[in-house]
Structure 1
Amino acid sequence: MHKQILLGLILAVFIAINAAPTGTQAQTAQNAPPLAETINYITAFLASHGCTEYDTTNFHKQSCSSLSNADNCSVEVESKLVLTPTRELTTTPIPKLRQWTVNLQLLDPTSAKTQPDIHSDDGSFPDQGLDVTVQAQAGGIGLALPVDNTDNATHLINALSHAITLCGGKKAAF
């Protein structure tokens, strides 16, 4: 009976030691910014770098996104697209505003990447903007945010991946 208890204790200690993070992992987890700080960083980042601009045959387009509200892992995204005619089609810019809510827990933190935001109004692809996209765990794009250049995109990718991981987002199964 004592041997079984002792064997059980040894097994429990062995499992606890192997399940505990290593010194480097534990130190990294302690140094990582918490969710609120990460969301604040993303909000400030988008205010400074969350736009992309490109030209098509008939319009100059400016696409900007921002976080307007965050409630833990649920963030409200606001996207504004302003089309400024480059020809005599109309005389005033045409703004389009969209708002939606994204649950970061439902995104795949390993899928964050840059991709061209290709737009044209005549079927050709003369100019490209730049987006940071994140896939939903169930497939498809779960989030696409414009960014001003590839160097800054790396910072946004890292921050989004960190926030998604903190919220419990996991790599898509398929």
Structure 2
Amino acid sequence: MYAFGSIIPLFVFAWLGPLIRKKCPEGFTLTQFVLERFGRFNQIYVSLMSIAYMFCFMISELSAVGNILVTLTGVDKLAPVICIAIVTTLYTGYGGLRASLITDNIQGWAIILLVVLSIIGLATSIRIEKSVIDNSDLLKSNSLGWQLLYIMPVAVSFATLFHEVSNEYYIHFY
């Protein structure tokens, strides 16, 4: 459902992109489209919502990194999180979008390597006792499971749509 919810925005953007471009041929960003179509007040509202969303996204990423560091190393998470925020701000401020894209590519390759190593590790060292699975109620159908079939793709789709719109705003802004 997560993968399905992540794919839906691609189709939405493929459908909406040409429509927005037709209505606002000189527009580059969603906020510019909102300005031309709905006025300054709505443009400011969309901009503020994008900033608020990106702030929440940034805080969740930094706290996740901090929690991972605490779990793996036991260090106090505040100092590494502050260092990460400062370094990221510096290289993005100095190198702009290009520096951010380069580090994103490095992170992407690192994730691929870690996934491959994790698969190898799991395949060679994990033994699952099937009787434990059968005796648990975790795989039985329940109402929450059926609700999540709807909630998960909808939540992921709208979060991805809004995240991409927010990123597009910041790319134009900087």
TM over 0.5: no
Tell me which protein shows more strand as a share of its residues: 1
Look at both structures and tell me which one has the larger radius of gyration over its CA atoms: 1
Point out the structure with the larger helix share. Answer: 2
Q: Work out which structure has the larger RCO, using CA pairs closer than 8 Å and 6 or more positions apart in sequence.
A: 2
